[in-house]
Structure formats: structure tokens, C-alpha cells
Amino acid sequence: TTTAVFLKSEVKDQVRRLRDELEVEEQALLSLRVDRQLPFEDVAEILGLRRDQAPTARKRYERVVEKLRKIAEREGLLGGQD
């Protein structure tokens, strides 16, 4: 339906705005993992780390996701957790 298409478009716009608030490096990390679905070993290598430093890349990713969650809450896109 037209309403469903509009809502889907609105959600994409909101996600894009959230991503725009991230640092360039954070955006790149998110893109590598979410958009391109690369394993953390590959993400680590692209970030200039060794493949065996995949846990470091994973931790950075987790921090970016947490930052996005906080931004989304601040913007009223997610309910706060009490």
C-alpha cells in the first residue's frame, strides 16, 4: 500500500539521518558490517588491523551500535529503557 511504502521510506530516511551523526570511520565500519555483511576478520583487515584482531573490530562495531541506539533514543525514535 501507499502508506506502507511511505513508512518504509520514512524509516530509511531516519536511519540515514542517524548514520550521518556518526564519525566517518564509524560510518565505514557500520557499512562494512551491516551493508556489505563482511565477517569481522575482513572488517579488521580493511580497518588496518590484522585478521587476528577481529575481536577488536567487533568491539568497535558494538560501540558504534550502542552510540546509534543512544542517538535514536535522544531523537525519540526508540523508547528509553527503564
* 42-81 residue pLDDT tens: 999 999 999 999 999 999 999 999 999 999 898 888 765 5
pLDDT level of residue 40 (50, 70, 90 thresholds): very high
Number of helices (H) and strands (E) in the chain: give both, helices first: 4, 0
Helix (H), strand (E) at residue 29: helix 24-30
Report d(CA 14, CA 20) in Å as an integer. 10
